[in-house]
């Protein structure tokens, strides 16, 4: 049986965790700080739990340079839960802001019992103006747009860009910004910064979405699979969310970084009855950002053990890279270049799936065409050989097949070198 040190796991998530972090977590699971109880047994209402949350928030802010006017929330439900949460919360924000504009135009003071003419104007605005924009560049952004259509109706969802339209019906490119059909005043513009299934990553923040003063746009981004791997312009975003299980920790915690202005009392107290009257669903309270923020992520029972693991990953990253995320970015790019260079050196044996301009540093997706017997047999042989030398988790997503090497932060430079050498040796082997 192989030892942990013998295996390099390139799975897309849950992903590899640093061994020393797991060892620390294992000890904490049995007896945390000499308390005689494991961390998973301590109350989430305890001072101990609060300290873990606050320390992890502080370290995350230090690592990513999160400004003071942003709040960090620890939630549950994963990225898929946030597909719903972002809709519920940002639509409520849009309704509140539109209501305030109508009140000002009509010269009416705000109150719990709004005059009928205000309700009518607000209903008209919802029916005619409410839109949520989605940039569909892969499987996850597609799922997000579909969930929004399920929740509030397809008439309110605008797919501003669909990458399949410029790539023969498949994902693998990002449409030029000049072709995006953005709404005039959307409740939010959503995109997924890195598509794990399709190996597509935005090269940087879209210029067309750059801040234009206090009026927006409200930009929501899913960074589940590339967070902590490169510097990001936090202030350009209204909401950043990500599951922990790729670069931050273990499955069970979802992080939301949100502008505090979106948590204002006026937004939090948008009447549920008003939303219902307008035909807009009220989301579950455990997905309401203002409620989670007010309770410092402890409205319901949070897995403190999973937050602890995330905190240990952050501490290790801060100790490893004095220049914080910039150091990790340099390493991530170096690892990705090694692997892509090996693939590009043998076009007769490999085909990288996405366009070169949008290749993901985190999820390297490719097909193997080395053997004369075809792609299927080539990939079976590639996977069999990789497992024999301890390179595991390389099988592509079930929906697209192929090979996928997930180059997350926990993958060492030595592991990336080992994979690139295997890519080279397989290509040099017999073709039958």
pLDDT confidence band for 265 (50 / 70 / 90): low
Report whether pLDDT(378) > 90. Answer: yes
What average pLDDT does the segment 150-160 reach? 98
Q: How confident is the model at residue 432 (pLDDT cuts 50, 70, 90)?
A: confident
The answer, yes or no, to whether residue 215 has pLDDT greater than 80, is: no
**Which residues, at least 6 apart from 34, have a Cβ–Cβ distance to it below 8 Å?**
none
**Mean pLDDT (the chain, rounded):** 95
- Residue 371 is classified by DSSP as S
Query: What is the average per-residue pLDDT within 317-344?
Result: 98
| pLDDT for 267 | 56
* Backbone angle region of 337, left / alpha / beta, with phi > 0 → left and psi within -120 to 50 → alpha: alpha
Closest CA to 299 of 278, 316, 284, 319: 284
Do residues 199 and 137 make contact, with C-beta atoms less than 8 angstroms apart? no
Strand 254-259 to 239-243 pairing: antiparallel
The pTM score is: 0.97
Condensed to tens digits (0 to 9), the pLDDT of residues 271-311 reads 788 999 999 999 999 999 999 999 999 999 999 999 999 99
Confidence at 266, pLDDT banded by 50, 70, 90: low
Nearest residue to 226 (alpha-carbon basis) of 315, 325, 304, 366:
325
Alpha carbon distance 198, 97 (integer Å): 37
pLDDT reported for residue 212:
82
Q: Rounded to an integer, what distance in angstroms lies between the CA atom of residue 211 and that of residue 302?
A: 34
pLDDT at 323 (0 to 100): 96
Residues in the chain: 432
**pLDDT at position 269:** 52
All structural domains of the chain: 55-306 (3.40.640.10), 325-428 (3.90.1150.10)
Give the mean pLDDT of 194-218. Answer: 92
Region 233-258 average pLDDT: 97
Which tens digits make up the pLDDT trace of 267-281? 555 578 899 999 999
State residue 2's pLDDT score.
86
> Can you tell me the mean pLDDT for 324-330?
98
Residue 425: CB partners within 8 Å, gap ≥ 6? none
Whole-number pLDDT of residue 1: 80
DSSP state of 9: E
Percent of the chain at pLDDT above 90? 93
Which 3 state secondary structure label does DSSP give 351?
strand
Tokens matching residue 156: 């309110």
Q: Kindly state the average pLDDT of the residues 178-183.
A: 98
Helices 413-428 and 375-388 meet at what angle, rounded to 10? Answer: 130
């Amino acid at each position: 049986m192989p030892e942990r040190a013998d295996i390099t796991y390139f799975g897309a998530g849950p992903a590899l965790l640093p061994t020393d972090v797991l060892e620390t977590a294992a000890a904490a699971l049995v007896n945390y700080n000499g308390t005689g109880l494991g961390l998973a047994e301590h109350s989430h209402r305890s001072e101990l739990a609060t300290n873990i949350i606050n320390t992890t928030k502080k370290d995350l802010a230090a690592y990513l340079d999160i400004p003071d006017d942003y709040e960090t929330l620890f939630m549950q439900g994963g990225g898929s839960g946030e597909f719903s949460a972002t809709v519920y919360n940002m639509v409520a924000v849009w309704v509140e802001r539109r209501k305030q504009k109508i009140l000002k135009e009509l010269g009416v003071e705000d109150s719990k019992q709004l005059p009928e003419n205000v309700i009518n104007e607000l209903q008209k605005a919802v029916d005619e103006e409410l839109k949520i924009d989605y940039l569909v560049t892969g499987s996850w952004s597609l799922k997000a747009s579909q969930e929004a259509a399920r929740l509030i109706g397809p008439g309110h969802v605008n797919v501003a860009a669909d990458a399949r339209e410029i790539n023969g019906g498949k994902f693998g490119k990002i449409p030029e910004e000049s072709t995006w059909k953005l709404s005039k005043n959307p409740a939010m513009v959503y995109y997924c910064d890195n598509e794990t299934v399709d190996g597509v990553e935005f090269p940087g923040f879209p210029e067309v979405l750059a801040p234009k003063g206090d009026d927006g746009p409200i930009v929501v981004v899913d960074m589940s699979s590339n967070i902590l791997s490169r510097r990001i312009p936090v202030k350009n975003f209204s909401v950043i969310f990500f599951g922990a299980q790729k670069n931050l920790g273990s499955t069970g915690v979802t992080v939301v970084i949100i502008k505090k202005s979106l948590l204002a009392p006026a937004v939090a107290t948008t009447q549920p009855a008003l939303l219902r009257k307008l035909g807009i669903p009220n989301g579950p309270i455990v997905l309401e950002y203002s409620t989670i923020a007010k309770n410092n992520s402890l409205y319901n029972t949070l897995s403190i053990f999973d937050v602890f693991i995330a905190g240990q990953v952050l501490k290790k990253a801060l100790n490893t890279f004095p220049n914080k995320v910039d150091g990790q970015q340099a390493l991530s790019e170096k690892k990705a270049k090694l692997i892509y260079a090996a693939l590009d050196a043998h076009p007769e044996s490999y085909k990288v799936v996405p366009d070169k301009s949008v290749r993901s540093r985190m999820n390297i997706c490719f097909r193997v065409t080395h053997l004369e017997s075809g792609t299927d047999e080539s990939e079976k042989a590639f996977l069999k050989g990789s497992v024999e030398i301890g390179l595991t988790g390389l099988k592509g997503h079930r929906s697209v097949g192929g090979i996928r090497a997930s180059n997350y932060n926990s993958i060492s430079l030595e592991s990336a070198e080992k994979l690139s050498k295997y890519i080279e040796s397989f290509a040099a082997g017999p073709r039958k």
